[in-house]
Amino acid sequence: DTAVSQTPKYLVTQMGNDKSIKCEQNLGHDTMYWYKQDSKKFLKIMFSYNNKELIINETVPNRFSPKSPDKAHLNLHINSLELGDSAVYFCASSQRSRISGANVLTFGAGSRLTVL
């Protein structure tokens, strides 16, 4: 069983199109994230949802709209795709330990988006 699963794994599309990437976690975590990794390999956080509430929004263009229908799902919809949106997008989830307070993220395998 994959803990954090993303679909699709690969996505090739034309500029101007609208596309979505889906993420699901079966770990029972209460927080989910989207990270973007560009060609320079930096991992940048984009969004985070805790119990379906948006808690992090990192100055991402409003063409990007996350949606969390429930705690186990966080989807990323991108409107009017641009060349610069080409990247690998990683979904992650976490649950803060009630005992230690530590917060360990579990990442998906990534979705490689190529905009032509």
When the beta carbons of 10 and 82 are compared against other proteins, the nearer one is 10
Considering CB under 8 A, how many residues would be counted as binding other proteins?
26
Determine if 52 is a binding residue for other proteins (CB under 8 A).
no
Determine if 90 is a binding residue for other proteins (CB under 8 A).
yes
Q: With contact defined as beta carbons under 8 Å apart, do 72 and 61 qualify?
A: no
The amino acid at 28: G
Determine if 22 is a binding residue for other proteins (CB under 8 A).
no
Determine if 27 is a binding residue for other proteins (CB under 8 A).
no
Determine if 93 is a binding residue for other proteins (CB under 8 A).
no
Q: How far apart are CA 77 and CA 65, in angstroms?
A: 5
Q: How far apart are CA 60 and CA 39, in angstroms?
A: 17
